[in-house]
Amino acid sequence: MRTVGARRRGVPISPSMISGRMVEYAGFSESVPAYLARPSDDHVRPAVVVIHALFGLVDHTKDVADRVAREGYVALAPNLFGTTELAGVLTPESVQKAMRLLFRLPRRDPELAREEIAKLPETERSIVGPTVEKLLGGLPKDRFVKDLVAAVDYLGTLPSVRRDRIGSVGFCFGGGLSASLACETSLRASVIFYGENPSPIDRVRSIDGAILGLYGADDTRINADLDKLVKAMTEYKKDFEMRIYPGAPHNFFDDTNGTTYREAAAKDAWDRVLRFYRRTLMA
């Protein structure tokens, strides 16, 4: 645990201890499980919604929530795949197997994917098949955004949270959702780690708070549309910061992935996130 750091208005920015536990909140259509991490004191603090990548609410996502809490924020990491419809289909293990299959394809084509699935043993096919189908167009992204809006509302009911100081951070799939969430509800600050742009891009017009975008220079698919994001942020006069890291691929922040993790870029990105939140959420 971190030691108590500097104080602002009597509230320790870096608390001495944090606690974490699973909770449930009312989502758009049913309860959503989530990991809640917070400083162990009684101070009222800003909050951050931590949005997982495509592998779901794994230990890495909870670790990010803990890191956010150690910096003096209440952190809520919803499991967007934890609903009745998706819990058995989008497990971390099934998504990992499905992604390995998709990476073998020359392009993400449903017919090509079905041909590859047909070659698998029956037990493997029954696990991977439904997951691939979901990943290739069956993800209810609109519902995910509504569940995230509900997460913001839930944080606003907690006595330990400043309702006017709520932000978000998301990674990969969750980075795109962090951007979409900023378009749908009033947030003070949103961080996008290598996520897709809001679609359509004109939704940027609705953003109230500040945006920080962090990208790997080698992430060609995501970066192909960054010019549209910059243009929209400029056109609608938004508070927008962006950093692109040379030599960094997609998923460069995930220190559990030895293939994509880039330590220098990840450390610099985290430092930027903390400075960004101090400017927007701690102010």
The residues that are catalytic are 172, 219, 250
Measured in whole angstroms, the distance separating CA 16 from the mean position of its chain's CA atoms is: 26
Q: Are strands 161-171 and 240-245 parallel, antiparallel or unpaired?
A: unpaired
Backbone phi, then psi, for 269, in 5-degree steps? -60, -45
DSSP-derived secondary structure letter, 214: E
In 126-251, the DSSP E strands lie at 161-171, 189-193, 210-216, 240-245
What is the C-alpha separation between 96 and 113, in angstroms, rounded? 15
Neighbours of 206 (CB within 10 A): 13
Do the beta carbons of residue 18 and residue 38 sit within 8 Å?
Answer: yes
Q: Taking Cα atoms as reference points, which of 48, 44, 47, 50 lies closest to residue 8?
A: 44
* Cα angle 216, 246, 211; round to 5: 45
